[in-house]
Amino acid sequence: MSSAGKVRRLAAITLAAGAATTVVASGAANAWNGDRTSDVRHAVQGGKARNVILLIGDGMGDSEITIARNYSQGAAGRLNMDRLPLTGAYTTYALQKANPNLPDYVTDSAASGTGWATGRKSYNGAISVTPDGKPQQTILELAKRAGYRTGDVTTAELTDATPAVLASHVVDRGCQGPADMKNCPTNAKENGGAGSIAEQEVQTGADVYLGGGKARFAQTVKAGRFQGKTVVDQAKAAGYDVVTDVNGLQSARPGKNGRLLGLFSDGNMPQEWTGPLAKTGGTDPSRCAPNDKFSGPHLTQMTSKALNVLDDQTRHGKKGFFLQVEGASIDKRDHAADPCGQIGETVEFDKAVKLARDYARQHPDTLVVTTADHGHTSQIIPLDAQSPGQTATLVTDEGAQMKINYATNPAGQSQEHTGTQVRIAAQGPQAANVVGVTNQTDLFGTINRALGLRH
Ligand SMILES: [Zn+2]
């Protein structure tokens, strides 16, 4: 290790110790009276990172974070994501497809992901293409080309927007498998395009893909070398070990020259927790429970495996890795006005943040970033508020009641994203670039700089 590396490692250890002290004290009324100037100064590091771990909580706005914190840690407690030393906010707006000079103030995960993955804004539904449909190089593609190993992990289908923006380019997010191409004629294989999201992900060739979406990869390729075969066949021909359950995940050893594709459910992966859905007029005070129908690996198990494989593949090489980890169903349960579902996903995502931080403690030249792609519906409101929307009242682990409101659409309809800025927090080389109020597209530049891809 270089002496700079030693200094960085010391700084990281000091910070970690400082964070732990803060957490222990955070129940006390004067927890933040300490002078943190020195901790923050140590947290600011320029230079290059060997590895980047980017964790995206889909739909994880400040409100979703606070709800999960209140429920699981207590109002004065802290989540793992709260312990990242450098924090800012970023704006998430999309562009109007018909008039890209004007903003669309509420983004979806596709436009949002296109922003952070390519550094260019686009319209809702765009998967790493410009408003006129041109593919834009993604951070994963650039990292791979520069010799980094790459990974893409999600609890949604692997062809859903957030994992898709890193490794594919289509004009509509719905074009997930070869049978789903009706909105993307120019991208279809049979028309000479690069194919569906699933096909393009295999062609891009990230070293590790883990998530749901088995049914998309079971679809039949319509043209080209793999015509008549499934996308899974195409993946196997490209060197992927394909695994479909926890045992397969844990025993997979793709090695230095292998690749790993985990497809653990037909669609999105199951949710961690269950509880009462919000309803008009509210619910009785309730507790959340583990989902007894849960099957397949947890996000933490996928994250841990991805880190092991990528660490293994890069240990003796010059270059490290880029890994994206998405907690996708925070968003999906928020759409469904399901507070326990949403909290369970946020808590599991937060444990994945801890794994990333544990890795960075051992490898201090790792940039860890945690953020969201957009805000969402849920709000904490007073217990006696008479919301016209749907509400649920939960009894938190610390024994207080918390009333959560969903009111961006009428009952019975999917609740909606919001256009608020969201939190971005980081540690490691280049982490200072998340401080203040930035734009979502700035994250692309931060990761580029950290990996030395371009300046
Ligand atoms: Zn959504």
C-alpha distances in Å from residue 85, one per residue of 92, 122, 353, 357, 369? 22, 31, 13, 11, 11
What is d(CA 62, CA 376) in angstroms, rounded to the nearest whole number? 9
CA of 55 to the centre of ligand 1 (A): 17
What is d(CA 117, CA 443) in angstroms, rounded to the nearest whole number? 8
Residue 126, SS3?
coil
What pLDDT is attached to residue 10? Answer: 42
What pLDDT is attached to residue 9? Answer: 45
Nearest alpha carbon to residue 172 among 213, 128, 107, 205:
128
Was domain 51-450 assigned CATH 3.40.720.10? yes
The answer to whether the beta carbons of residues 413 and 352 sit under 8 Å apart is no
Q: Which pair of structure tokens corresponds to residue 375?
A: 């805000």
In the chain, the N- to C-terminal Cα span, in Å, equals 25
What is d(CA 293, CA 451) in angstroms, rounded to the nearest whole number? 41
Main-chain dihedrals φ then ψ at residue 380, nearest 5 degrees: -90, 120
Task: List the 366-372 sheet strands across, edge first.
Answer: 240-243, 259-263, 208-212, 149-157, 321-327, 51-57, 366-372, 422-427, 86-91, 436-439
CA of 233 to the centre of ligand 1 (A): 31
Strands (E), 97-139: 103-104
Q: How many CB atoms lie within 10 A of CB 429?
A: 25
CA of 138 to the centre of ligand 1 (A): 21
Helices (H), 44-191: 62-72, 109-118, 139-145, 161-167
The one-character DSSP state at 56 is E
Residue type, 452: G
CA of 201 to the centre of ligand 1 (A): 21
In which residue are the tokens 């580029």 written?
A: 448
In which residue are the tokens 């007894």 written?
A: 292
CA of 349 to the centre of ligand 1 (A): 16
**Domain-wise residue ranges, the chain:** 51-450
Nearest alpha carbon to residue 214 among 200, 227, 232:
232
Main-chain dihedrals φ then ψ at residue 44, nearest 5 degrees: -85, 110
Rounded to two decimals, the pTM is: 0.93
Burial class (CB in 10 A: 0-12, 13-18, 19+), 455: exposed
Query: Which residues, by Cβ under 5 Å, contact ligand 1, an ion?
Result: 331
- Give, for 222, the enclosing helix (H) or strand (E): none
What is d(CA 235, CA 450) in angstroms, rounded to the nearest whole number? 30
Helices first, then strands: H and E counts in the chain: 14, 18
What is d(CA 152, CA 325) in angstroms, rounded to the nearest whole number? 6
- Catalytic: 3? no
Handedness of CA 281, 284, 289, 292 (dihedral sign): negative
The answer to whether the beta carbons of residues 442 and 450 sit under 8 Å apart is no
Which residue is catalytic, options 109, 265, 304, 387? 109
The one-digit pLDDT tens for each residue of the chain (455 residues) are 444 444 444 444 434 434 433 344 344 444 557 898 999 999 999 999 999 999 999 999 999 999 999 999 999 999 999 999 999 999 999 999 999 999 999 999 999 999 999 999 999 999 999 999 999 999 999 999 999 999 999 999 999 999 999 999 999 999 999 999 999 999 999 999 999 999 999 999 999 999 999 999 999 999 999 999 999 999 999 999 999 999 999 999 998 999 999 999 999 999 999 999 999 999 999 999 999 999 989 999 999 999 999 999 999 999 999 999 999 999 999 999 999 999 999 999 999 999 999 999 999 999 999 999 999 999 999 999 999 999 999 999 999 999 999 999 999 999 999 999 999 999 999 999 999 999 999 999 999 999 999 64
What pLDDT is attached to residue 31? Answer: 52
Q: Which residues of 387-411 are buried (b: 16+ CB within 10 A; e: fewer)?
A: bebbbbbbebeeeeebbbbbbbeeb
Name the pairing type of β-strands 259-263 and 422-427. Answer: unpaired
CA of 358 to the centre of ligand 1 (A): 29
What is d(CA 156, CA 329) in angstroms, rounded to the nearest whole number? 7
Residue type, 359: Y
